[in-house]
Amino acid sequence: MLDPLIRGRLEQAGAQLSERVPLSRLTTLRLGGPAAVLAECPSTDVLVAVVRLLDDARVPTLILGGGSNLLISDDGFDGVVVGVADAGVELGEDTVLAQAGAVWDDVVAKTVAAGFGGLECLSGIPGSTGATPVQNVGAYGVEVGSLLRRVQLLDRTTGEVRWVDPSELGLSYRTSVLKHRSDALVLAVEMTVRPDGASAPLTYRELAVALGVREGEQRPTAEVRDTVLALRRSKGMVLDGNDHDTWSAGSFFTNPVIPDASLPPVLDAIKAKVGEDTKVPQFPGNPGTKLSAGWLIERAGFGRGYPGVESPVRLSTKHTLALTNRGQASTSDLVALARTIRDGVEAAFGVRLEPEPVTVGCSI
């Protein structure tokens, strides 16, 4: 129960408070028990004031954007879930400045409509702009880290607001110093965009093929956005309430990066199981070698739709890397499926997959 004095101060600061809110309504997996309190912050100023108040009072908090990279326990969260809602977006000559609460795909659509290039490969990723640096979101050969000019943070240890250079954020493949930590809150991001209307160079083969260009070429940004959205829809990677294949957190496991010394035994184990002539998909891991988690899951015996129609949680029928809620699932069902997949891949190939979503009150 929130102290009535703190409750009053939060309301005075502009937060809209509700109690016992099912978090399953606020996550794309549609899983998670109740939040003791949900504090919705309509502007970034309110967000700063609310988080400072909660931190001063040492109230446990969970920052919630679009809930698309969160796996929350069935017990919910016994503290204040802070909703980030400021959707402000400003376009400059070759920049876009977006508040943390802006829906990421709206920001992408707005830059594309204004004739700016750079963000189009990141079309269709759900969630808020403030969460994009947290795991350095990426798709189709582009990561948000390559676009960031500066990021505005609230330092929750001092209460100070400051702009930081992206080099301070430790951005790398699906992670940053912000992930799995709560001492900094992203308030706004500023990105560099291309004013010439051309896309980023198209480095991702599947996308280049779909557009009929060679890798490294560019296309008009709107054409690339449409093609990315079509590719993503075919994989259940664009949210659609009517399609249970999209009731997910996107890719559930990151692609494993294997250190050079460990690669030969891993490749031997894969070939022993799958066949000596198998061509194992490999990508630069910088350092090490990145393998495809989805490919490994399939080769370990977990096909699309696993474990079958009776189960409340299944691998997506369109994409083996997405774990999905078929409508009646609980978080513990999903955790059990994730463990089965992770342990099966490890037993088959000696590769341990790591979950991509942030877990709250549960672990895989």
Ligand X SMILES: Cc1cc2nc3c(=O)[nH]c(=O)nc-3n(C[C@H](O)[C@H](O)[C@H](O)COP(=O)(O)OP(=O)(O)OC[C@H]3O[C@@H](n4cnc5c(N)ncnc54)[C@H](O)[C@@H]3O)c2cc1C
Chain contacts with ligand X (rule: CB under 6 A): 28, 62-70, 84, 100, 125-128, 130-132, 134-135, 137-139, 178, 185-186, 237, 239, 246, 248-250, 358
Beta bridge partners of 314: 324
Among left, alpha and beta (phi > 0; psi -120 to 50; other), residue 356 is alpha
Q: Which is nearer to ligand X, 348 or 360 (CB)?
A: 360
Work out the number of other CB atoms within 10 angstroms of the CB of residue 294.
Answer: 21
User: Are the C-beta atoms of 222 and 228 separated by less than 8 Å?
Assistant: no
Q: Which is nearer to ligand X, 135 or 221 (CB)?
A: 135
Active site residue 168: no
Q: Which is nearer to ligand X, 10 or 125 (CB)?
A: 125
Longest dimension (CA), the chain: 68
User: Are the C-beta atoms of 107 and 119 separated by less than 8 Å?
Assistant: yes
Measured between its terminal Cα atoms, the distance across the chain in Å is 29
Active site residue 356: yes
- Least spacing, CB of residue 183 vs ligand X, in Å: 10
Segment holding 314, helix H or strand E: strand 313-315
Q: Which is nearer to ligand X, 63 or 348 (CB)?
A: 63
Q: At what angle do helices 44-56 and 4-13 cross, to 10 degrees?
A: 160
Active site residue 174: yes
Beta bridge partners of 38: 18, 81
Compute φ and ψ for 81, nearest 5 degrees: -90, 125
Instruction: Tell me how far apart the alpha carbons of residues 126 and 89 are, in angstroms, rounded to a whole number.
Output: 17
Instruction: Tell me how far apart the alpha carbons of residues 24 and 3 are, in angstroms, rounded to a whole number.
Output: 25
Tell me which of 251, 298, 299, 342 is the catalytic residue. 251
- Least spacing, CB of residue 226 vs ligand X, in Å: 16
Q: Which is nearer to ligand X, 146 or 346 (CB)?
A: 146
Cβ neighbors of 204 (< 8 A, separation 6 or more) are 121, 140, 141, 215
Tell me which of 30, 150, 156, 174 is the catalytic residue. 174
Q: Which is nearer to ligand X, 66 or 118 (CB)?
A: 66
Catalytic residues: 174, 251, 356
